[in-house]
Amino acid sequence: MRALPHGPRTPRSLLGALLLALATVAAVLAAAPAAHADTLVCEQYGSTTIQGRYVVQNNRWGTSAPQCVTATDSGFRVTQADGAVPTNGAPKSYPSVFNGCHYTNCSPGTNLPAQVSGIASAPSSISYGFVGSAVYNASYDIWLDPTPKKNRVNRTEIMIWLNKVGPIQPIGSQAGTASVGGRTWQVWRGSNGSNDVISFVAPSAVASWSFDVMDFVRNTIARGMAQNNWYLTSVQAGFEPWQNGAGLAVNSFSSTVNLGTPGTGSPGAPGEPVTACEVAYATNVWSDGFTADVTVANTGSTPVDSWTLSFTLPSGQRVTNAWNATVSGPTGAVTATGLAHSARVAAGASQTFGFQGTYSGTFSKPSGFSLNGARCA
């Protein structure tokens, strides 16, 4: 039977087609993730939260000149930083992002303050954006105190200078060098009158890095500047500008504190493995993606049940899918948990899982792994 030719559409049919098209557009818009509006903070000690777990703070403590930061989904950027202070004195401010508590301002869901003796590992990662038209350092600021203090200044301050631009130097004087976290640092020691300060200064700029904060904490303890029964109160990352600073950015930041058996047998040996496990991390990398096969081996004499492996992906990497484990946290701090058939790692045995991901920039591997809260080799 011959089909009838299509005739012109009636107004009713055109209206129906239009309504159908509008419904389709509405469904697409509803399914799309909502855009996150950046938040401008200009108050002297103003702050806001990002990722539901970190605090971004303006922290303009050393100058009356205007300063503003813009909090983004993953970090912040300095959008205004007027004025200058002498480079032989204190900086203007410390715009930063942190996990923990700072002058009664605590990040959502943090488990800090936490006693050092009860911390297995504290993986963190950072990606910076630098400028050349300013005098500043790009640094972590890690605070320790004999009490679980959430207000006022702490007893010991650990600074990790990942970049130094201009004629500035840490508090005190250089006390030698140290190898911490697989890198070599200049070590400076001093006091600013209200607390002791130890600074680890990179010999050249480090734009992004993943590491364990506890390596620096234990090195500080080994130098007699803190004790195992003290408390880690906050992990902060940002900038100390002396002159200008607009355009400086923390592109991404992550910080996790894993409670459990401490990471080393003694505070004088930072970075040693702490539990009877080993992790092999094999990758296949192409232009913008990679796969990773991860083998968790139990080298002890007792089985490990319901295992969870924690690690921090380097900046720019994102997990897209996984197999033989549940992998949560697509970027930054990641955890992999065994499935029902792979939840036990027998003594002398191993379990293997894998995942696929994307990356930007230079590809690198995670710097450390923790099994059920204790670090592995």
- Which residue numbers are catalytic? 157, 240
State in Å, rounded, how far the first CA of the chain is from the last one.
Answer: 76
Q: Which residues contact 172 (CB under 8 A, 6 or more apart)?
A: 188, 189, 190, 191, 197, 199
To which residue do tokens 């080994």 refer? Answer: 222
Q: What is the C-alpha separation between 135 and 127, in angstroms, rounded? A: 19
DSSP symbols for 142-204: EEEESS---SS--SEEEEEEEEEESS---SSEEEEEEEETTEEEEEEEEE-SSSEEEEEE-SS
Q: What is the C-alpha separation between 343 and 306, in angstroms, rounded? A: 5
The helix (run of H) or strand (run of E) holding residue 19 is helix 11-31
Q: What is the C-alpha separation between 175 and 88, in angstroms, rounded? A: 19
The helix (run of H) or strand (run of E) holding residue 210 is strand 208-212
